[in-house]
Each structure stands twice: as structure tokens, then as C-alpha cells.
Structure 1
Amino acid sequence: MKNQWILFFSGIVAVKVSGNGIERLINKCIRSGIYIWNVKRHGTHAVTLKIGLQDVHKLRHAARDSDCKIEFLRRSGVPFLLKRLMKNGGFLAGAILFLFIIFILSNMVWGIEIKGANPATEYKIRKELDKMGVKVGQLQFFINNVEGIQSELTNQIDEITWVGVELKGTTYSLKVVEKNEPKKPKQVDRQNLVAKKKAVIVDMFVEEGQPMVEVNQHVKKGQLLVSGVIGKEGETKEVPAKGKVYGETWYKTEVELPLETTFQVFNGKEKRKHYLKLGKWQVPIWGFGKLEFNQYETEVNEKKVRFLKWQIPISYTEKTFREREKVERSYSKKEAVNIAKEMARKDIKSHLSEDAIIKGENVLQQSFENGKVKLSIHFQIIENIAVGQPIIQGDSE
């Protein structure tokens, strides 16, 4: 039996057959390959039945030599529906145009809300959004996704620490966290400066207070460096000691580095494919052809389609395939040692203040085991070792 939906798309005709040779006509139609269904008898000399539009001429030909009369009653199916619509073309065009306009307006940006930013920062954000094409009246299909907008704003505007971007219907909502200005140092009433670790003093810059140590002197952790008690005996006063005391300190660090490393890198080749997503189905609309990359990474950018306030199960998807390849990197023993030393320096600097400097370094131990170089390095550092300590009642020089 043929699929009724296929017949609906091709067209269906209801036919009335009357006469004395109805049975012979029906048998002749079946032998001729005419598909007949819904055959109903109306009295002894009439029946109604349905045939496909494509079989109308065959039925007329079969009825010529029969003692029957055929009469077409009703027509249904897509061809007849389209014919009726063509007669009302203006109405159809208007309806399609109306739906198209509603669809466009539903996927357009109608508002941009920014919360958490002061007026100056908000002005910079709106200017940057305008450069990216995020503005009222722009179609959402031509705008980067919210993750891309968030990343671009964070990189381009120094005044913000974090920005969250969310698309709510036709409105972009941004929540901004601005960078806090560094807090002004609290006014210290009175304090001494003491050593935060053992060191050898190499230099001193005392703004206020009484120096208690000298250059080249060894000091221990907690030892008094600059006293906040100044003046002669009997005429002393307590002040907040200020200054920097630079001492030579010592650190030890251990690093290891493989002589051979394998990692993945992008080689610059990429291919883009565009799809129209209908529910779970993806229909390719651009970027056809087989993907020739053996190893690749896929980036998916999906833009949802809305109609009025509803999100319909249709979306436009862009997939970017970036080829990556395996790269093997090998170091000679000498190169590995030099790179390991540089890694150790960066590690030490990450734990020091900005004004600290590396005076010297000495490799205590070096070994090559299991395809790795292992180093134990001793560093000589010049850094400010002075930290404030409140003066407790009864403290003296």
C-alpha cells in the first residue's frame, strides 16, 4: 500500500463511477496499475473511490470502452492547495513578509544593560561594544558569542577585573566588576623595623628612626634593624620607623626538565563549516567536502533563533576545525641545563618582591636520570628584609 502522505503531496482526486460495468472498470484499472482506495458502493449502479492525481488520465482512458460514467467530486493535496494559494498571492506574500519581519525583529538587539560600572567605565564599555558591532539594531547572527564579547572587553578595558555577558531575549545584560584602587597605607602610630629572615646587610635607606645595624653585619630573623625610639636619654620619643634595609639572603630550589618532550600545536590550517540545526538534525549549508585533517580541534559557535519571546528549536551553527600536529622537542644536555636554570630563576622571582635582585647562583647538584635533567641551585638574593613591628610599652633601644 502506498504511503498516504506521499499521495497527499502528489495530489488526490475523489471520483464517482456510475453505470453497469463498474466491476469491469475497477478490474481494468487494477491491471493498468492505477492505485484505488476508499471504494464505497452507493446503490447498485454507483461507487465512489479515490485515486492519485497522476492516474487521472489513465482512468479516463480505461473508462472509454466501459459502460460507465466518471465524475470528479473533490480534489485535495498539495498541488491544489498551492493553486488556491496562487489565486490569493497578495495575501500569501503579505503573510510571509509579516512573519519574516517578526522573525528579523525577534533576532535583533533592542537593548544593552550595564550594571556595576561607574559612568566613565560604562562609556568605555559602550564604545568598545560599538566597535565589536554590539549595538541596538544589529542582528544577533552577526555578533560574536557572549564568551567572545566577555573576553574582548576584559582584554581591552583596563578598568574592569571581570565582566559577565548574558543574552536575555533581545537584550544584552552586562555585569561588571571594576578594579579596586589600592588602599592607602594605614598611618602607623609607632613601630620598629625588624629582620624578616637572616641575612648580611648590604645597604640601608632610613627615612625615620634610629639605625641599629651596620653594613656587612649578620642579622638573625626578628633582630631589631631600625628603632622607632629616637632622641637622647631622658628626652626620647616614639615614631613610626620607616625605611628599607637590604640584605643578602639565600634560597635553594630544585627543578627538573625532560630532555625530550612531545606536545600538540596548531599549524595554522583550518576549515569552517556552516549548518542549520533543526532540533537534533544538522543540515549543512556551506563548507562542504570531506575534512582532510587527521588531528584537529573543533570550535562550535551556535546562535539560537527566536520568534517573539520564544526560542524555537532552530539555530545557526558555525564549526571551525583547526588542524593540530604532534611536535617532538629535544634538548641537548647543555641546552636542558640552561633552560632548567632559567626556570629556577623565574620560580625564585615569583616569590620575591619587585625590587629584589639575584646577585648570584650556584649549582649544588646536577644529574641526568630517566631522560630528565635535575638541578639543585643555591641563589644569593638582595632584597628588603625590613618589616614593621609595633612598639610595645616598655620597649627601649
Structure 2
Amino acid sequence: MYRKAVNYLRGQAVVEITSSAPERVVNLCAAHGIPFWDVDWRTERCFRVTTTLPGLRRLREVTADTDADIRLLRKTGAPELWRRCRRRYVLLAAALVLPLLLALGSAFIWDFAVSGNDTVPTEEILQALERCGVRVGTRGVGLDQDDLRNRVLPLLPDVVYLAVNVRGCTAHVQVVERTRPPHLYRDSDVQNVVAARDGLITKIEALDGVTCVQVGDTVQAGQVLLGGVADSPRGCRYMRAHGRIRARTWYCWTVPVPLDVCEKTGEEGAVTRVAVDIGRQRIKLYAGGSVLPVDCDKITEYRGLRLPFGLRLPVTLAVEKTVTHTVYDGQRAEDDARAEGERQLLAQLRQTIGEDGAILQTDVSARRQGAYLMVTLRAECEEQIGVDAPLAITSDTGR
């Protein structure tokens, strides 16, 4: 690595040497201390070699009395780069101004990276930081972590710890979310477990309470499955009934799917507009306003600019592509409408029975009714139907 850096600073050249005695050329290089490397033999009389720029001049001098033909292929390195750019004054000015801009820009925050949040949205954390004065364009040097934490945490009740570490132009926000303890029930909390919907009992897991049904019984919605009141020699004993009751359930749902829809044809025209976001300011590189025509789609792509070594620059290129379509009223095929209605009903069914529920059997039918296709789903499922129902204790009940 060190040798490559030195060779780049000195400059290097790739040459092709043709001679009737190529070994003599190699011996002359060794005798006069001419450095060379990356030897590539092309033929028995021709080979390529890499040497330094001073070594190239010396090589031509020592081989002047021989039949060696030295052909320069390319030059690389800092001297060659300077030769090409020394009359390009704009590039030289940019090379001088760029380090200054990097030094000034690295003192401010231009990007955020939030980690450690699973339930608290990233937008909520960034909004809380913005309310406390930490936003894009804020000076990142010298942030008082304790003061910032004391002002941000009251705005985020589900966060117990927050730290902002600024590296370059990026503020890395690390949060620790609050772990809520389980709800503790008091001895006075009494309840029944009732059926959420009609069903046929298949399994009973009673953890506390009086079992009021048996496996194989048919129950109705609202019927008590586990009771919170039990008889005792001293009267009634109240408790908090708790358990899981699984049952077979049946559903019959119908959803109307419109057959008349608005469809889009091919693209009539595509317009690409480019804008540059510097911090929170946008510079439009196109003429006209931002009002979009009707019946069009807009796709915006944001490209953040980074240096080769990964430093994020406070410049974002926004490319907006607007595509105009022709919209016309069309007729949807009944098979497509049936498939869409089936997807909607199955999604609603899975959401209703929960993750631990199982769909045992389904039957889908459809009939046309005017401009709609009525899609009907009949399903048989197995799910947990027991829900908690508070038990009100009155004085009459107590007697």
C-alpha cells in the first residue's frame, strides 16, 4: 500500500518494449537502478512493463545505443493529473473550495439514522427532536446530551433513554423503548368468560372459574363459558374467570364488487423534472409550477449524494417523473371481480379469527346484481371464542 502511494505521487508509465535481445534491456534496468514492475511478456521479443516517470526518461537514455523500441502506452499518477488540470481553473477552484465546504458542512447535521425503536415510529422521534431544536441544518458540535435528553423524553412517553451521536454529517439517534409490565389484577376484579360468537366447543382450557359448558356443546354469542361466581358453604365466592375456549365457527359474508371501473391506457407523455434539496431548501431546476395535470401519476426518486469514502453530503437530488394516462370507463371481467372479492373476504376472515385461528373449509359463490358482482364466502373455522366480560356485583347478588 505504501509503495503504491509513493509510485502514484512520483507518477508511473506503462511502456511496451520491443527488442531482439529483451534480456539485455532488463539487465540494463537492473544495472542502472531503473525501477520496474508488472512485467507482461507479449511475445518472445516484446514485453510490457510499468516504471516511474523518471525511470522512463532514464530507460530511454540507457537504451539509446540498442535496437530497443520503447512505446509509451499510458501515464498515470499525480504529475500527470496535475498536467491535465493545471489550466482548468474551475477545477482548481473547486478543489480548493471543496475541502472548505466539507469542513464547514461536517459541523452541521444533514441526515438522521434512528436505531433501537420497534414500536415508536421514527417520524415521532424526529418530530420530538425537531421540537427541541435538533433538525436538519443544526450545528452538531457541542450538543448537550443531558439537556437534550431531559427535553425529549417527556415528549416520548414510550422511550426511557435517548442519545444523539454525531459522526460527520449524520446524527445517529439511539433509543431504548419502555417495557410495559403486565397488567396486574386486583382481588376485587371479577369477571366471566363469555362466547364472542356462536360455535361448537372443541377444547376447554380453564385456568380459573367455573366451567359452564362441555366439549361438543353448541353455544351462542354472549353465553357464559367460564363463570366467575361459585357456590360455597358461606355463600357465593367471586373470582376472576380466566381461560381459553376453542370452538368451530361458521361465517357467511357477502361483498359487492363493482364491474364498471376506470382503466388507464398507455402513456401519452412523460415529463421528468429535477430539483436539488440543500438541507431543507429546494432549488427547482425546471420551469413552471408544481401543479400536476389531471389523470397522471408522479414518481419521485431521491438520490442522496455521498463521497467515495461514505460521507453523506447535505445535497439530495430529487427526480420527479410525471406520466399522463388516458382514463376511460371499462367493464371488468367477472372472474377478476370474483377473485378480488374473494381476496377481500379471506383477508377480513383471517383478521377476524386471529393468528391462532384456523380456516377449515371455504366455499365461494358469486351472482351478478346490476352493476355489481355479489361475492359470498361461506367458511368453517376453528378459533378461540372466549372473551372477558366484567361481572357487576350488587347488594342483591351478595345476599
On whether the aligned pair clears a TM of 0.5, the verdict is: no
Give the TM-score taking structure 1 as reference length: 0.45
